């Protein structure tokens, strides 16, 4: 499947561009709309994807919302409020998707571009990758879930400093903080490495990957008792899925599990 913007590759990787060459690699409304539609089709079972790959089509992964659009709006408050809610629809679908997600973070990830990168289960950077909140730089506060995700990844204190100082984080710092999952050996390899990782994950237990994301992301707001219960329910639910049955059976038969066949 390929519309003008999203592409479902033969190996089940759903590629969603979040920015295009134009506008300084700012978020592309059409791309986000297409990506949201594709993720909703996956949820309804109308699109048989097994992993999601987020990409930037220009020199940068994404420079966030298009600042010139903000300036030209008649009612800046309502315009930005509407954009943020539209972005939330996309990010809510990304968080809820029962698939592993990978971001190919080439160049800059700024503003909502950084927020989107934080939502990915895996973020592959390059030697010159940099992450920057950018919001305070233009007098704004974060959106796209950054104030929820960042403290859960780096801690509240470090998140406050990064946000309030609008820190530009280089690749090594971002890796050390857990904001990148790996750094490709060369900038030119970011896209291919992220694509390769998405393909690897598409052959794995995609339902288990999604369950791990939700257990981890809800753990900080759960008591231990609530988390123990959530884990017990999750492992029980997965045990009777196609992938869960295949994983156990393959182990006992001493063979490599065929998760893609078990899921479809
Ligand atoms: C149901 C689904 C509905 C679908 C619709 C979904 C809606 C999608 C949109 C949602 C938007 C929500 C709101 C958003 O979340 C809010 C934000 O993101 S606020 C933060 C905005 N971003 C920024 O402030 C970052 C600004 N840019 C920079 O800081 C730097 O450019 C950089 C990214 C660090 C890169 O720096 P450099 O490499 O030095 O490059 P330059 O700065 O020289 O820029 C090159 C060129 O590009 C222009 N440009 C860069 N960023 C933006 C931008 N965000 N908007 C517009 N233009 C940008 C820059 O002006 C330069 O232009 P030139 O001077 O060459 O003409």
Kindly provide the ipTM of the predicted complex, given to two decimals.
0.95
178-229 per-position pLDDT tens digit:
999 999 999 999 999 999 999 999 999 999 999 999 999 999 999 999 999 9
- Superfamily classification of domain 7-202: 2-enoyl-CoA Hydratase; Chain A, domain 1 (3.90.226.10)
Q: Whose CA is nearest to atom 59 of ligand 1?
A: 24
- Residue 106 near residue 115, CB atoms below 8 Å: no
Residue 118: name the closest of 71, 156, 150 by CA. 150
CA 92 to chain CA centroid, nearest Å? 10
Q: 122: which strand partners?
A: 102
Euclidean distance between CA atoms 228 and 102, whole angstroms: 28
Phi, psi of 160 (to 5 degrees): -65, -45
Cα 56 to averaged position of ligand 1 atoms, centre (Å): 13
Euclidean distance between CA atoms 194 and 48, whole angstroms: 20
CATH 3.40.50.300 fits 206-263, yes or no: no
Euclidean distance between CA atoms 62 and 120, whole angstroms: 14
Tens of pLDDT along the chain (264 residues)?
556 689 999 999 999 999 988 777 999 888 899 999 999 999 999 999 999 999 998 899 999 999 999 889 899 999 999 999 999 999 999 999 999 999 999 999 999 999 999 999 999 999 999 999 999 999 999 999 999 999 999 999 999 999 999 999 999 999 999 999 999 999 999 999 999 999 999 999 999 999 999 999 999 999 999 999 999 999 999 999 999 999 999 999 999 999 999 985
Q: For the chain, where do the domains classified as CATH 3.90.226.10 start and end?
A: 7-202
Longest dimension (CA), the chain: 65
Cα 22 to averaged position of ligand 1 atoms, centre (Å): 10
Cα 108 to averaged position of ligand 1 atoms, centre (Å): 10
Atom number of ligand 1 nearest to Cα 108: 33
Mutate-to-test residue for ligand 1 from 43, 64, 73, 131, highest number of ligand atoms within 8 A of CB: 64
Please tell me whether residue 199 adopts helix, strand or coil conformation. helix
Structure tokens at 60: 């940068």
């Amino acid at each position: 499947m390929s519309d003008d913007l999203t592409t479902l590759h033969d190996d089940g990787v759903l590629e969603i561009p979040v920015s295009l060459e134009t506008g300084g690699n700012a978020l592309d409304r059409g791309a986000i709309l297409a990506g949201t539609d594709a993720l909703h089709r996956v949820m309804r079972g109308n699109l048989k994807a097994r992993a999601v790959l987020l990409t930037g089509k220009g020199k940068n992964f994404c420079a966030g919302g298009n600042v010139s659009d903000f300036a030209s709006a008649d009612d800046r408050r309502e315009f930005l409020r509407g954009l943020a809610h539209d972005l939330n629809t996309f990010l809510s679908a990304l968080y809820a998707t029962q698939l592993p997600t990978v971001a190919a973070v080439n160049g800059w990830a700024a503003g909502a571009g950084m927020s989107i990168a934080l939502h990915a289960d895996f973020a592959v950077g390059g030697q010159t990758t940099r992450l920057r909140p950018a919001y305070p730089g233009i007098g704004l506060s974060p959106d796209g879930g950054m104030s929820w995700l960042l403290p859960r990844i780096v801690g509240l204190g470090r998140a406050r400093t990064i946000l309030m100082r609008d820190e530009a984080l280089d690749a090594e710092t971002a890796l050390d903080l857990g904001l990148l999952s790996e750094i490709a050996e060369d900038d030119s390899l970011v896209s291919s490495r992220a694509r390769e990782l998405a393909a690897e994950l598409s052959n794995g237990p995609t339902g288990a990957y999604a369950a791990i994301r939700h257990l981890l992301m809800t753990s900080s707001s759960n008591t231990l008792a609530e988390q123990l219960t959530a884990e017990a329910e999750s492992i029980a639910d997965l045990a009777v899925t196609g992938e869960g049955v295949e994983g156990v059976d393959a182990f006992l038969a001493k063979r490599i599990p065929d998760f893609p066949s078990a899921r479809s």
